[in-house]
Chains A and B, each alone.
Chain A
Amino acid sequence: AQTVTQSQPEMSVQEAETVTLSCTYDTSESDYYLFWYKQPPSRQMILVIRQEAYKQQNATENRFSVNFQKAAKSFSLKISDSQLGDAAMYFCAYRSLFISNFGNEKLTFGTGTRLTIIP
């Protein structure tokens, strides 16, 4: 079974600075997806960024980028020019590439990192 580990329960960053959130995972599969989701105080889960394991290029979405190290099974999220609206819980998640009826349909989540933005 796959596992996802987020070793930083809480992080803080000064507004306009850059912060990196860590995520490691364990899997025996070679093809999969990795995601970062944001959960603000409203508690709605919002997709931040997605990475396909077969792609070597790191995904970017505006101020958000990832550092995907497949061999090390590491998937960190970098937030540049941090804004007050970035304050939230951030969850790293794993999903198998191919979906079948054998239990690989689900997203496996880490325990989250609470990010605080200091004005």
Chain B
Amino acid sequence: DGGITQSPKYLFRKEGQNVTLSCEQNLNHDAMYWYRQDPGQGLRLIYYSQIVNDFQKGDIAEGYSVSREKKESFPLTVTSAQKNPTAFYLCASRLGTYNEQFFGPGTRLTVL
């Protein structure tokens, strides 16, 4: 089945540690995205990538980093510079210019 997978579903991290969230898609989609969701707020864009080896900052990129070495994969690293990293993180992808985004199941990150 085609789809977007995110792992792990739940992630715990100690303050001061970097952590990487995985996002893989086998839909042959060109563009990929990372969003953050906090209670009472909509999704906010962290980073996006329209093609391999290229990515752009979104609205809240500070404290995060990404890479896009393969079309299928778009991992997100939450660094120790992110002041409030506890949140739900959603990865999405899109095929073509005019199509909607499809979302993965998300990763819940908790900083202890």
Q: Give B44's nearest chain A residue, CB to CB.
A: A109
Interface set of B (CB-CB < 8 Å, partner A):
31, 33, 40-45, 48, 50, 56, 58-59, 88, 90, 92, 97-98, 100-106
The majority secondary structure among interface residues of chain A is loop
Chain B minimum-CB-distance residue to A91: B42
Contacts of A44 in B (CB 8 A): 103-106
Q: A28 on the interface (CB 8 Å rule)?
A: no
A residues neighboring B (CB under 8 Å): 4, 33, 35, 37, 42-47, 50, 91, 93, 97-99, 101, 103, 105-112
Give the residues in chain B near A99, CB-CB below 8 Å. 50, 97
Knowing that A45-B43, A106-B59, A112-B42 touch, tell me 20 more A-B residue pairs with CB under 8 angstroms. Answer: A4-B42, A35-B100, A43-B105, A44-B104, A44-B105, A45-B92, A50-B100, A91-B43, A101-B56, A103-B56, A105-B48, A105-B50, A106-B33, A106-B48, A106-B58, A107-B45, A108-B42, A110-B42, A111-B40, A111-B41
Closest chain B residue, CB of each to CB of A46: B103
30 A–B contacts from the bound complex (CB under 8 Å):
A4-B42, A33-B100, A35-B100, A43-B106, A44-B103, A44-B104, A44-B105, A44-B106, A45-B43, A45-B92, A45-B103, A93-B42, A101-B50, A101-B56, A103-B56, A105-B31, A105-B50, A105-B56, A106-B33, A106-B45, A106-B48, A106-B58, A107-B45, A108-B42, A109-B42, A109-B44, A110-B42, A111-B40, A111-B41, A111-B42
